[in-house]
């Protein structure tokens, strides 16, 4: 089973490299020609790409989301750079949802492990679907770890869909919005994005803490 996991991770890394090469091949000429023209000229060159480039970036987002230890934040920000905040946001949501769904389906097909994971027990919270969604929202928590917890909790159908899509919405928007702000040179927007990420992390952690306190109080009562 471990060998199969290694092959899957290795295949994902190879796919990331291939898709990354395609992205560099498509966008390097734009940066080479556009940088001397300033931000406006660079933005016009970057945003003339069509659906083929978008599909490649979505697949790259999905692959980087799926492979453990790889962060998709860079390509999610670039989606905002290349396609603007709205389209970039949609690309991020699709890519992150595909990646997390792929991990869940793959783990569900692998033989179950007897060792319980010590960090995340979705059933213990009483609201496994909501907890999974919150886990996907926090950038510092590896999404593969949350997907593993989803499989262990045996979530099904609508709960998985709501978790992977709902959990990707905040960070997908902030990354795309931040990428567009970066291209425009709007430091005010970048500060808003940074503050939004911090508030998102703090809010989710506070929610989990309060839920833990309330749950302990009910047990003691």
H helix runs in 110-127, sequence order: 122-125
Three-state DSSP state, 48: coil
Count of C-beta atoms within a 10 Å radius of residue 220: 6
> Which pLDDT band, with edges at 50, 70 and 90, does 214 fall under?
very low
User: What is the pLDDT at residue 115?
Assistant: 46
Residues 149/117, Cβ–Cβ less than 8 Å: yes
**80 CB contacts (<8 Å, ≥6 apart)?**
88, 89, 92, 175, 176, 177, 178, 179, 180, 181, 182, 183
Place of tokens 């949501």: 93
- From 193, 124, 200, 121, select the one nearest 168 (Cα to Cα): 200
Expressed in angstroms, the distance from the first to the final Cα of the chain is 44
Q: How far apart are CA 83 and CA 46, in angstroms?
A: 8
Which pLDDT score is estimated for 142?
80
pLDDT tens, 151-208? 888 888 888 999 999 999 989 998 999 999 888 887 777 788 778 778 877 776 776 6
Specify the 3-state DSSP secondary structure of 116.
coil
């Amino acid at each position: 089973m471990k060998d199969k996991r290694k092959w899957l991770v290795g295949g994902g890394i190879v796919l990331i490299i291939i898709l990354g090469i395609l992205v560099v091949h498509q966008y390097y000429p734009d940066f080479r020609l556009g940088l001397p023209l300033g931000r406006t000229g660079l933005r016009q060159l970057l945003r003339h790409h069509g659906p083929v480039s978008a599909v490649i970036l979505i697949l790259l987002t999905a692959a980087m989301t799926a492979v453990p230890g790889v962060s998709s934040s860079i390509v999610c920000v670039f989606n905002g750079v290349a396609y603007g905040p709205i389209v970039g946001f949609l690309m991020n949501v699709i890519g992150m949802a595909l990646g997390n769904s792929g991990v869940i389906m793959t783990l569900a097909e692998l033989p179950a492990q007897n060792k319980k994971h010590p960090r995340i027990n979705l059933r213990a919270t009483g609201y496994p679907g909501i907890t999974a969604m919150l886990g996907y929202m926090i950038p510092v928590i590896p999404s593969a770890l949350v997907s593993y917890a989803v499989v262990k909790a045996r979530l099904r159908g609508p709960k998985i869909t709501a978790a992977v899509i709902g959990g990707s919405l905040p960070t997908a928007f902030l990354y795309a919005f931040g990428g567009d702000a970066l291209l425009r040179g709007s430091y005010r927007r970048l500060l808003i994005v940074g503050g939004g990420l911090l508030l998102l992390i703090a809010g989710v952690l506070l929610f989990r803490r309060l839920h833990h306190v309330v749950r302990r109080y009910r047990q003691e009562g």
